[in-house]
Structure 1
Amino acid sequence: MRMNQSHQLEERITFYGGLTTIGGVHILYSCGDTGIVFDLGMARGFFKNEVSVCSDFGIRSFLLTRMAPPVLGLYDPALLGDVGEAELTQVWDIDRLPHVNNLHGFVSHIHQDHMALLPSLRAGLPVWMHRDAYAVYEAVVAAGEYEGTQADIRLIEDGQVVDFGTFRIEFIEVDHDSPGVTGFIIHGPQHRIAFTADWRRHGRNSYRMDRFIERCQSVGVELLITEGTRMRPDTLFRKPKDRLEVEVAVECRRAMEDTEGLVYVNILARNVERVADLIVRTQEAGRQLVMDESTAVLWREASSRLTVLAGHQALDVDQDVIRLLSTPQWAKGPHPIKEVDLPYESITLNEITANKSAYAVYLTYPHTPLIAELETFGSRTAASIYVHADGNPLTPSDETLLKWLTEFGVQYRYCATGGHAAPQEITELTTRISPKVVVPLHSLHPSMFNSGGISKYCPAPGESFELSELVGKQIRS
């Protein structure tokens, strides 16, 4: 009976976000009366730096600028106010909005462009994410970077299969520069869809991508959706050479050994595994790592919960290596920092400048002005070094940062490695999986993707398909 019914169920996929931008992927898959939206983040788009809003009614602005998917069942009605179907159909230039009775959400990992909508979701909405990803989210909230969520978070493990009734999802952990990053395969009544999430080959767990490929091959994936962040004219014919993830903290230690001055380190705190490596390398260099309160809370809260850090050396040494610097009032974020019993000894700016060779300062971008005091006071006989390892700003050419470093004679070392695959690696993944159609997104240049002869399709915002229609397309690659 169920088999006969399954052939009558329409599998539909609608593409909203992340199609010609890096991040902000918003896709709705539905089958019968059940659907899932993936992911739940935002690209920068209309909001950056001083032009920003919080989730308290900010979701209205996100929806009206097409930075959030127009699926009203996702959001807290109290935050929507009078924004409804009439306004959103006008904004998206479509006839009607999708309506799914049994709606779910999915968050592949805790980077802003994949999770920023979490505080705006309605109470009780089922949202699936890896338990390590959720541990990072709880830490980010504790650190005051984001608000919590009213959604019903449902934790998943690598390899877990969840039955949604009309379809099943097989969750598969991949390798990226944040813990718990998860892609999946949707097993529908007639079709198989794979979503890679963000991934790379130069991380510490490249083998996960081979598992992902092999599983896609074995179930016969027909539609592959893959990120393409690094598809650019300059990478089209020449594969970039990537620094291995395990080398980043080693480069930080080398900087600490190369000078008797201060060393500043800028790492995105959500890359908790890299922070753990940094703590160990700082101890090896004979220094202590100075953290502000927000960063220390994020590290402490995440590291105490992450399964991926079980047995890591940093968990044994961090109390002795980390020193706590009180966050200046002007540098505090929009949300209160959770009161956490931190086991780290406090330190002042004067203590740091009195013995610069003894410390490395974990300096996040908003705290850049501290360089003025840290460089002006104390000995200046040895140059300080600033190691920029994928922390914000995500570019080596940020005018403001470079002006601060130049003003005070601080050496700049760009030590990024990033979390995204080279275009040639995406081609290889696609040809090995050999789907009927591949959709590249999470990219400024998706049309440049060399799909290796596999049919590819670049959807327009709001474009919707029955799965049989999309996988049956004969699309030029």
Structure 2
Amino acid sequence: MMKLQEERLTFYGGLTTIGGVHIMYSCGDTGFVFDLGMARGFFNGDTRVEPDHGIGSYLLTRMAPPILGLYDPMLLGDIGEAELLQVWGKPYLPQVANLHGFVSHIHQDHMALLPSLRSSLPVWMHRDAYAVYEAIVAAGEYEGTHADIRLVEDGQIVDFGTFRIEFIEVDHDSPGVTGFIIHGPGHTIAFTADWRRHGRNAYRLDSFIERCRSVEVDVLITEGTRLRPDTLFRKPKDRLEIDVAVECRRAMEETQGLVYVNILARNVERVADLIIRTQEAGRQLVMDESTAVLWHIASAKLAVLSGHPALEAGNTVIRVLPTPLWSKGPHPIQELELPFAPITTSEIVVDKSSYAVYLTYSHTALIAELEARGSQDTGSIYVHADGNPLSPNDETLLKWLNEFGVQYRYCSTGGHAAPQEITELTAAIAPQVVIPLHSSHPTLFDSKGVRKVFPAPGESFELGELVDRK
């Protein structure tokens, strides 16, 4: 009888943090690394490095997985296995000859390493996720990647030789988010990616559960973002995704002043809904150049938006405000001939009731120019709907709003499942082992009797040993 190739899971990131999941599944000489982002930690908006010289800093602070075959050799410089072994405090770090990467969706904590990858590395992602990535590159948010991007569809199965992967789209607050089932020679492993039940496509989770049950998944890896002491005893009533843009429209109808809307532009489906609700409220939606480019590129390529009325309405509803020099991003915005009419702040303040302003956090200072000019008779409203900053208690933002008397409305409905929903999903799939991560408090997870494993950073498990351990 032929001996089965050894299957192994090695865990590096996202184990006790929200985001930055770095895991390698290996079978024989083939490895599959998921995801390729970074968690918050050593770097933020003020302390940062660019990809052309930053991968070393990421590796030496354990912000990137210590798998040398992932990265552009020109960016690695002199960093090698000896330095990584010292940083991780390990005598051995698994490396494989045939390496693949995977990006579940286009949020920073899942895709930020893309610009640092080597040119021949195969990286798998859903085609809608890649459409968003192309859009954020065009918008100047990120550099492009030299990796060999390979696109997948929901339900597609790819044969990697010693194992197969079945890609399954789930629901999150970004298009194309995809989990998977690994069909190995001896075991099956399911990865949920980031997911939620209160989105527009909750049925995808039912399909994911059904498929996991049918193949009798051995190991389930699930996100646990909302596992916190205050969430364990009462299932929260989440605002439905489809209601967010309705709340924005309600604000537009309740004031003759300006309405500022702060939505993460990568949530392109929500932006599409916002365009329609703005049109219904009789206003036009003012975007900065970067956001307009992102919408224009992504909306034209996203299969999930095919036939959406916002594709046509946007050409008349959207107006573009030139990005001020003081707020230009780190990378150039792609020069495009946009189908949207330009506008100036002087035009906006003449008739504030006619406009909603899509105001990203970096452009907050525009509030001064827009509020100090024009009519002061009716107050403006700021709708904060999951754009940065993610917290409703940001001191800087609230100071700007208080200074100019702008009413603040927090209208959040994030992309993550409630703890009770994670428990229900785990019980329905009934794996041998569940590994909760992408969480600050994974040990709070109630698995309803399914054995839980909490890997340590750098810990590597042979699959038979992991599944059979009592």
TM-score range, shorter chain: over 0.9
Matches within 5 A, 1:215-364: 215-364=211-360
* Distance in 1 of aligned mates of 2:93 and 2:441: 28
- The residue that corresponds to 1:181 in the other structure is 177
Q: Which amino acid letter does the alignment assign opposite residue 213 of structure 2? A: Q
Deviation at 1:253, TM superposition (A): 0.2
Question: What does residue range 59-74 of structure 1 map to in structure 2 within 5 Å?
Answer: 59-74=55-70
Please, which of 153, 158, 164 is the counterpart of residue 154 of structure 2? 158
In 2, distance between residues paired with 1:41 and 1:345?
Answer: 36
Offset of 1:8 from its aligned partner? 2.9
Aligned equivalents of 1:458 and 1:98: distance in 2? 19
Partner of 2:436: 440
How many angstroms does 1:125 deviate by?
Answer: 0.2
Q: Deviations over 1:18-37 (max 9, x none)?
A: 00000000000000111100
Q: Is the 8 A contact 2:4 2:186 kept in 1?
A: no
CA RMSD of aligned residues (A): 0.6
Q: Deviations over 1:63-92 (max 9, x none)?
A: 000000000000000001111111100000
1:17-416 to 2 correspondences below 5 Å: 17-416=13-412
Secondary structure at the residue paired with 1:432?
A: helix
CA shift at 1:124, angstroms?
Answer: 1.1
CA contact (8 A) 2:101 2:123 kept: yes
Do the aligned partners of 2:11 and 2:22 also contact (CA within 8 Å) in 1? yes
Q: Tell me the distance in 2 between the aligned counterparts of 1:140 and 1:471.
A: 40
Give unpaired runs (5+ residues) of structure 1. none
* Structure 2 residue ranges without an equivalent (≥5): none
Task: After TM superposition, give the deviation of residue 290 of structure 1 in Å.
Answer: 0.1
Q: Is the 8 A contact 1:173 1:180 kept in 2?
A: yes
Q: What letter corresponds to residue 401 of structure 1 in structure 2?
A: L
Equivalent position SS for 2:367? helix
8 A contact 1:85–1:96 mirrored in 2: no
Deviations 1:132-171 (A, max 9, x none): 0000000000000000000000000000000000000000
| Misfit runs of 4+, over 2 Å | none
Output the CA distance in 2 between the equivalents of 1:389 and 1:465: 40
Q: Deviations over 1:287-336 (max 9, x none)?
A: 00000000000000000000000010101110000001000001110000
- The percent identity for this pair of structures is 77
Cα distance in 2 between the residues matched to 1:222 and 1:344 = 51
Q: Following TM superposition, by how much is the alpha carbon of 1:215 offset from its aligned partner in structure 2, in angstroms? A: 0.2
Amino acid at match of 1:398: D
- The residue type paired with residue 123 of structure 1 is S
Query: Quick one: distance in 2 between partners of 1:53 and 1:257?
Result: 43
Deviation at 1:258, TM superposition (A): 0.4
Q: 1:264: Cα distance to partner?
A: 0.1
In 2, Cα distance between equivalents of 1:458 and 1:32: 24
3-state SS of the aligned residue for 1:420?
Answer: coil
User: Which amino acid in 2 is paired with 1:297?
Assistant: V
Letter of the aligned partner of 1:310 in structure 2? S
Tell me, in whole angstroms, the C-alpha distance in 1 between the residues paired with 2:158 and 2:336.
Answer: 35
Aligned AA (1:275): V
Give the length in aligned residue pairs: 470
- What SS does the aligned partner of 2:301 have? coil
Letter paired with 1:51: T
Determine helix, strand or coil for the equivalent of 1:137: helix
Q: CA deviation at 1:97?
A: 2.3
The one-letter amino acid of 2:215's match is: V
